């Protein structure tokens, strides 16, 4: 018997499509229903064999599903859950792949009717590409997936979602939603804010002089790759994880100001220590 009888995926792109592919490949899902707003993408998903059928109506789409996976922008998840909650089958489990958790888990838990269960999740995986044509079965292999149970999370529901991600090849980590949001603010959201600011700063300096960016070499391009990320997605993340993002931006600012004063004071020994400390931490995560 497969782990999931009927899986409803809302948002059949890179994240949703890749989960569908791996569960199908492993024989751990009966039927897969795709739900989305773009019919062309959903038709392509059927053609590619990623989903069995589709609907653009989320309320209809979740009917009879024992597991619902939301892979839509973070700002849309709670309102979608509000819309479809009453259409969930008894015993249905709803989980998501949003990269912010507290602002999703709190409302979604409250919105669950009796006998339906919400489990917050965040698979730490992705590529620069999007759409179902970018999805592939091994996206989650060897990656981490953070699940964020709370005091009111159902144990059996958590177990099933954990099993699903383990089948997909991920190492599952359990974490409090608030802690999750701080961790990702540090290792992902802050770097994005820094990269976007850096590119704009260099480009802004550029305009006052002549085109500086054209002298940039591979190092600059690698360093700023994440500044090519989707602006709407990052707007939503910064809106939803505002407090943790602000906290980390301020935290970064203190370190940047410390380095600035070392440079200003020509404190060579201090700078070398600062750089060595950083190199040591960076080399340790290689």
Structure tokens at 112: 């669950």
* Residue 116 CA, distance from chain mean position: 23
Nearer residue to its own copies within complex by CB, 24 or 180: 180
- Nearer CB in complex with its own copies: 40/280: 280
Q: How far is the CB of 81 from its own copies (least distance, A)?
A: 21
Min CB(218)–its own copies separation in Å: 9
Nearer to its own copies, 118 or 140 (CB): 140
- Of the pair 56, 201, the CB lying nearest its own copies is at 201
Smallest distance from its own copies to CB 42, Å: 26
And the tokens for 15?
Answer: 């994240």
Q: Which residues of 198-227 are buried (b: 16+ CB within 10 A; e: fewer)?
A: ebeeeeeeeeeeeeeeeeeeeeeeeebebb
Half-sphere exposure of 58 (CA within 13 A, CB side): 23
> Least separation, in Å, of the C-beta of 270 and its own copies?
9
Beta carbon nearer to its own copies, 93 or 175: 175
Phi, psi of 7, deg, nearest 5 = -105, 125
Per-residue tokens: 223: 């360093």
Q: Which are the contacts of 208, defined by CB distance < 8 A and separation ≥ 6? A: none
Min CB(68)–its own copies separation in Å: 26
Determine the straight-line distance between the first and last CA of the chain, rounded to whole angstroms.
Answer: 41
If phi > 0 it is left, if psi is from -120 to 50 it is alpha, else beta; for residue 8 that is beta
Q: Rounded to the nearest 5°, which phi and psi values hold at 95?
A: -140, 170
Nearest distance, CB of residue 120 and its own copies, angstroms:
16
Label the pairing between strands 144-147 and 121-124: antiparallel
Q: Which is nearer to its own copies, 23 or 145 (CB)?
A: 145
Residue 50: which of 166, 137, 140, 128 has the closest Cα?
137
Rounded to a whole number of angstroms, the minimum distance from the CB of residue 264 to its own copies is 6
Cβ proximity to its own copies, 64 vs 270, nearer residue: 270
């Amino acid at each position: 018997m497969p782990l999931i009888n009927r899986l409803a995926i809302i948002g059949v792109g890179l994240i949703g499509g890749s989960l569908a592919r791996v569960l199908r490949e492993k024989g751990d899902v009966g039927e897969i229903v795709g739900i989305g707003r773009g019919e062309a993408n959903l038709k392509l998903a059927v053609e590619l064999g990623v989903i069995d059928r589709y609907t653009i109506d989320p309320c209809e789409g979740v009917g009879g599903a024992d597991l619902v996976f939301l892979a839509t922008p973070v700002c849309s998840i709670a309102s979608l859950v509000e819309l479809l909650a009453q259409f969930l089958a008894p015993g249905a489990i709803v989980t998501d792949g949003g990269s912010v958790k507290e602002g999703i888990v709190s409302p979604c838990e409250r919105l669950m009717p009796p006998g339906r269960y919400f489990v917050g999740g965040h698979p730490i995986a992705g590529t620069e590409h999007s759409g179902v044509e970018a999805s592939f079965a091994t996206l989650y292999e060897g990656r981490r997936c953070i699940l964020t149970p709370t005091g009111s999370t159902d144990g059996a529901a958590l177990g099933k979602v954990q099993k699903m991600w383990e089948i997909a090849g991920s190492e599952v980590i359990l974490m409090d939603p608030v802690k999750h949001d701080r961790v990702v603010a540090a290792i992902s959201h802050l770097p994005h804010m820094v990269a976007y600011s850096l590119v704009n700063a260099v480009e802004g300096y550029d305009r006052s002089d002549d085109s500086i960016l054209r002298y940039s070499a591979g190092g600059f391009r690698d360093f700023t790759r994440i500044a090519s990320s989707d602006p709407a997605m990052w707007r939503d993340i910064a809106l939803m994880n505002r407090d943790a993002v602000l906290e980390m931006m301020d935290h970064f600012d203190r370190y940047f100001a410390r380095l600035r004063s070392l440079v200003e004071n020509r404190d060579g020994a201090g700078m070398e220590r600062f750089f060595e400390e950083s190199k040591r931490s960076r080399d340790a995560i290689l």
